[in-house]
Amino acid sequence: MDITFLGGLEVDTVIGIYDWERKIRQTIVLDIEMACDIRKAAETDDINYALDYKTVSNRIVEFVEQSEFLLVETLIERIAEILLQEFNIPWVRIVLNKRGAISRAKDVGIIIERGVEPE
């Protein structure tokens, strides 16, 4: 199986459990790997057979910008659901980084894998 990825996708959103977090937008950073089969796209040189990462990126950015979840756990699960269902991919790995969430740590976040792992 092949992997299409988006790295370092930065999106501003309302996220967090504290009152002050509900009043501001914070930047989260996403790294997303998506299983796909690129052979038909490569054979035909036709974007219609590829996982269009621009379309994927636009959809995720739109969703995250409009969301207002308390937990990053909820946000990352919803992103995975969108990718698996709307883009018909069998497997996804997402790293969600909420930089600055802990004062002494540069990075903090969650990594999930959903779907059937690629071969």
Q: Are 32 and 94 in contact (CB under 8 A)?
A: yes
Which uninterrupted H or E stretch holds 12?
strand 2-13
Q: 96: closest CA among 116, 115, 78, 75?
A: 75
Query: 23 an active-site residue?
Result: no
Question: Which tokens is 70 given?
Answer: 């308390």
Q: Which of 23, 40, 54, 98 is catalytic?
A: 98
Q: How far apart are CA 37 and CA 81, in angstroms?
A: 19
Q: What is the DSSP letter of 16?
A: -
Tell me the pairing of strands 91-97 and 2-13: unpaired
Q: Active-site residue numbers?
A: 98
